[in-house]
């Protein structure tokens, strides 16, 4: 029964961290088990040309929450201490319209306890006390007798190692986020509509899934990483640096284990989403709730010998993006695939549009409701020797590496796995020329030094000797007892 007190629909915005767009059963993946997300795709529209404008955690989340491109919100490189820009934010826009707004999980903002417009936030920030806050998930573990033991499995938060989860199933962060999100729904103010943001921290490493989900993939044939003819044609220093940073190698057994662990984390989330949907159903809210599911970026998972994000290949930059209308409206088609170019900047205007709330003038993104289209999507990532830029016209994707001035061009209609670089093919010369011109027109700031006479010139590749990661970036330790921190996040009493 529809609650007459709700003049606007409820909104459930689910995000996951580091989940490639192709890694869904409904997208045709041969292995992954995602029955819940597949069901959501049947209820609504799946956007199969959705991308992260800057495929790194923090820039992506800034686009989600501001409706802005990386240029608009000021980060294309991953700046963990950069404040949100002083523009209307997603949660605040809902709050100003009378919504109660709550977030559970990962926000990745600074300072970590900045609620960025939410009435309340329950944080799971993957163990970052040095930024000035102990998150709620670690407080929960402490209350369960596991103070500081979140990372006692020994796996790195930014690396490709794997082993089963070391504590109870109930204490896993995916279960905690689900449980707290369901409790938040049940504790809502029934006189006001609600905006719930549920932000899962996985399948981002550490790859420490529950054993029961590992077992689901134990006897399944795991798809193998693919390679491309362009990998040996022309060296790309930015990609060589990635391979050096994650020297996983090409062992099929290792790749199989890593993918099993990764897929296990995905299926665990998929099953837990059912609990949230079930809670909405039992609270008689599901029919009156808009739902969006997406990720901040993807993961290369060994394709082309590459891992993680920060690249514009499909594995790292293409996103899952599913939108479901309320049961009483048909503004979003059901069981439909939409191939329009969309980005994370489009989330804010889309949800506001569907909720009947005015879209702030600061927003750069486009609502996915209706038939608005963009002629191209521009992407930018990093500002150093690892910099990469992208222009996508909906079929053709041009990727530019300024270091070495390397251009790649892919025809995704003919080559969805990007195995064949068309940049030097005569048949694609006109497309390349056009997309390069579009890209030049999007460059700004320091990037302008990499252009001369309207042409891309880049800069000489930087040859740096391999240097092992002495600091073991992303490796967490025992987080108890936690040292006192000053306002800058520095340990009190340290030099």
Burial of 165 (0-12, 13-18, 19+ CB in 10 A): buried
CATH architecture of structural domain 10-375: 3-Layer(aba) Sandwich (3.40)
Q: What are phi and psi of 160, to 5 degrees?
A: -115, 80
| Predicted local confidence at residue 234, as pLDDT | 81
Query: Residue 174 half-sphere exposure, CB side, CA atoms within 13 Å?
Result: 29
Residue 132 pLDDT exceeds 90: no
* Per-residue model confidence as pLDDT tens digits over 415-448: 999 999 999 999 999 999 999 999 999 999 999 9
**Does 14 have pLDDT greater than 90?**
yes
Is pLDDT of 485 > 80?
A: no
Going by C-alpha positions, the residue among 20, 1, 17, 44 that lies closest to residue 317 is 20
Q: Which of 374, 294, 321, 300 is nearest to 69 (CA)?
A: 374
Percent of the chain scored above 90 by pLDDT? 88
244: exposed, middle or buried (Cβ count in 10 Å: 0-12, 13-18, 19+): middle
pLDDT band for position 486 (50/70/90)?
low
pLDDT digits (tens, 9 = 90+) for 245-277: 999 989 999 999 999 999 999 999 999 999 999
* pLDDT tens track for 447-464: 999 999 999 999 998 776
| pLDDT tens-digit readout, 362-420 | 999 999 998 999 999 999 999 999 999 999 999 999 999 999 999 999 999 999 999 99
Strands 50-51 and 342-343: parallel
* Mean pLDDT, residues 164-191 taken together: 98
> Would you state the structure tokens that stand for residue 47, as one six-digit string?
């956007």
In this model, does residue 110 exceed pLDDT 80? yes
Judge whether residue 3 has pLDDT over 50.
no
User: pLDDT tens for residues 319-355?
Assistant: 999 999 999 999 999 999 999 999 999 999 999 999 9
- The pLDDT of residue 128 is 85
Is the pLDDT at 235 greater than 50? The verdict is yes
């Amino acid at each position: 029964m529809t609650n007459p007190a709700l003049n606007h629909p409820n909104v459930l915005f689910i995000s996951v961290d580091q989940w490639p767009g192709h890694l869904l059963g409904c997208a045709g993946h041969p292995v992954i088990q995602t029955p819940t997300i597949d069901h959501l795709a049947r209820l609504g529209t799946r956007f199969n040309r959705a991308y992260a404008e800057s495929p790194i955690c923090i820039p992506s989340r800034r686009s989600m929450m501001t409706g802005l491109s990386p240029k608009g919100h000021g980060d294309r490189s991953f700046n963990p201490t950069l404040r949100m820009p002083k523009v209307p934010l997603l949660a605040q826009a809902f709050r100003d319209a009378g919504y109660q707004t709550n977030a559970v999980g990962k926000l990745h903002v600074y300072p970590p306890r900045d609620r960025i417009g939410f009435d309340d936030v329950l944080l799971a920030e993957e163990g970052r006390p040095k930024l000035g806050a102990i998150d709620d998930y670690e407080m929960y573990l402490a209350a369960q007798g596991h103070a500081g033991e979140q990372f006692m499995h020994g796996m790195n938060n930014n690396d490709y190692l794997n082993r089963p989860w070391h504590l109870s199933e109930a204490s896993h962060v995916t279960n905690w986020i689900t449980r707290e999100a369901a409790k938040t729904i049940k504790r809502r103010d029934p006189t006001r509509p609600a905006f719930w943001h549920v932000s899962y921290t996985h399948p981002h490493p550490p790859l420490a899934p529950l054993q029961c989900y590992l077992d689901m993939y134990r006897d399944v044939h795991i798809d193998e990483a693919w390679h491309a003819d362009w990998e040996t044609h022309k060296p790309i220093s930015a990609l060589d640096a990635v391979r050096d940073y994650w020297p996983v190698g090409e062992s099929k057994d290792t790749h199989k284990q890593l993918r099993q662990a990764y897929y296990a984390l995905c299926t665990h989330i998929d099953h837990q989403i059912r609990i949230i949907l079930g809670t909405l159903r039992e609270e008689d809210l599901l029919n009156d709730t808009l739902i969006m599911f997406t990720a901040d970026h993807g993961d290369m998972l060994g394709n082309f010998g590459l891992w993680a994000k920060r690249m514009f290949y499909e594995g790292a930059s293409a996103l899952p993006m599913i939108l479901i209308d309320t049961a009483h409206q048909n503004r979003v088609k059901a069981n439909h695939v939409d191939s329009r170019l969309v980005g994370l900047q489009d989330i804010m205007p889309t949800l506001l549009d569907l909720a009947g709330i005015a879209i702030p003038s600061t927003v750069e993104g486009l609502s996915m409701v209706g038939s608005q289209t963009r002629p191209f999507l521009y992407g930018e990532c990093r500002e150093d020797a690892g910099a990469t830029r992208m222009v996508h016209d909906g079929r053709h994707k041009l990727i530019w590496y300024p270091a070495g001035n390397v251009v790649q061009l892919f025809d995704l209609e003919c080559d969805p796995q990007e195995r064949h670089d068309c940049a030097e093919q005569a048949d694609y010369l006109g497309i390349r020329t056009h997309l390069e011109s579009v890209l030049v027109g999007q460059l700004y700031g320091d990037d302008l030094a990499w252009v001369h006479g309207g042409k891309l010139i880049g800069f000489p590749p930087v040859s740096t000797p391999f240097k092992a990661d002495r600091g073991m970036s992303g490796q967490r330790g025992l987080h108890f007892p936690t040292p006192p921190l000053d306002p800058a996040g520095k340990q009190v009493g340290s030099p």
